[in-house]
Amino acid sequence: MALARAGAASSTPRSVTILGSTGSVGCSTVDLLRRDPDSYDVEAITAFSNVALLAQQARELRAQMAVIGDPALYQPLREALAGTNIAAAAGPDALIEAAARPSDWVMPSSGPPALRPRWPRRGAAPSSPWPTRSA
Task: Kindly tell me if the per-residue pLDDT of 2 is higher than 70.
Answer: no
Tell me phi and psi for residue 43, to 5 degrees: -75, -50
**Is 54:28 a contact under the CB 8 Å cutoff?**
no
Q: Which residues of 93-106 are buried (b: 16+ CB within 10 A; e: fewer)?
A: ebbebbbeeebbbb
Q: Tell me the pLDDT tens digit for each residue of 6-19.
A: 444 568 999 999 99
**Is 99:119 a contact under the CB 8 Å cutoff?**
yes
**String of DSSP letters for 47-91:** ESS-HHHHHHHHHHHT-SEEEESSGGGHHHHHHHTTTSS-EEEES
Task: Kindly tell me if the per-residue pLDDT of 60 is higher than 50.
Answer: yes
User: Does this model's pTM top 0.85?
Assistant: no
Q: Tell me the pLDDT tens digit for each residue of 92-127.
A: 999 999 999 999 999 987 555 435 544 454 444 454
Nearest-10 crossing angle of helices 51-61, 24-34: 20
Beta 105-108 vs 14-19: how paired, if at all?
parallel
**In order of start, what are the domains of the chain with their CATH numbers?**
14-111 (3.40.50.720)
3-state secondary structure of 112: coil
**Is 68:96 a contact under the CB 8 Å cutoff?**
no
User: How many Å apart are CA 109 and CA 24, to the nearest integer?
Assistant: 8
